[in-house]
Each structure stands twice: as structure tokens, then as C-alpha cells.
Amino acid sequence: MAAGEPGDLGGYYFRFLPQKTFQCLSTQETTSRLRQWSMLGRVAAQAFGFDQTFQAYRKDDFVMAFFKDPNVIPNLKLLSDSSGQWITLGFASGRLRKI
């Protein structure tokens, strides 16, 4: 099975959508409020698509598949508590590099 293909992850296939932007995070009002709460630079939004209809009764399978997906692990950004730097989920797991 090739990386990123559905398999034992509940059959879900996720894809990273790096071109998706969230204009709401860059408005003057939002940046002002984030700065006020010392959150500017500490909030990010990322988009991922998936190939099936979401079914609420399979929510646990969906979440587990998301965090184990080979397209999510190297792309999902997390803010490190210790360094304050953005890292990937894979780096946090000790597998991939800092971004």
C-alpha cells in the first residue's frame, strides 16, 4: 500500500490543502485582538480534505484516522510548548523535522 492511501485507518484518505487561506485570521480586527491577548503568531489554521461523507457515528474512527494519516503527520503544525516554535505532528512524535 502506498503512503497516503486508505487502509487500516477506517478507509479515510486525507489530503493537505496548503493553498487554502483563512482571510479571517488576517483582518485588522482579528490581528488587533490576537495582539491584545498575546496570541498573534501563536494561532494558525490549516485545511485538509477527505474522501468520504462524514458520519457522526464514525467520529472516533475519523479522528483516529486523521492523526495517523501519512498526509497529515508531516503537515499538521503544532506550537511547541517548550520552544514556542511551530513543529509538525511528525516532529512532535520524534519522526520528522522542524518546519
Pairwise CA distance, residues 13 & 52, whole Å: 8
48-94 per-position pLDDT tens digit: 999 999 999 999 999 999 999 999 999 999 888 888 888 888 876 66
Domain count of the fold of the chain? 1
Pairwise CA distance, residues 78 & 11, whole Å: 25
Pairwise CA distance, residues 99 & 96, whole Å: 9
With a threshold of 0.85, does the pTM exceed it? no
Residue 59 lies in a domain: yes
Cβ proximity of 40 and 31 under 8 Å: yes
Residue type (1 letter), 47: A
Give me the domain span that covers residue 63: 14-96
Residue 9 lies in a domain: no
Residue 62 lies in a domain: yes
